[in-house]
Amino acid sequence: MTITNRIEINPKIILGKPVIRGTRIPVELILRKLSEGATAADLCDAYPGLTPEDIRAAIAYAADALAHEDTILLEPSDQVAAE
């Protein structure tokens, strides 16, 4: 399945996790590395074939995934707190 022209989901590649098309580089890995302070240049150096456009596509994919996520807020129960 093609998510964008740069992100794909294939059950035969890393158990169907979203990856950069044509690679085994998961979107999750890119996001984690960015959150740890890596730059786009760092990632492109570490993963040959990865481009700045791929990194932007990974970020956009994550933003889209979060945009469609439902959040349910639950009130804490006094009974749970007492236990």
For Cα atoms 32, 35, 37, give the angle at the middle one, nearest 5 degrees: 115
User: Can you tell me the mean pLDDT for 41-56?
Assistant: 96
- The token duo for 35 is 């959150």
What is the percentage of the chain residues whose pLDDT exceeds 90?
73
Domains along the sequence of the chain with CATH: 7-82 (1.10.10.10)
pTM: 0.79
Q: Give the Cα separation of 78 and 27 in Å (integer).
A: 40
Helices 52-67 and 27-35: crossing angle in degrees, nearest 10, is 100
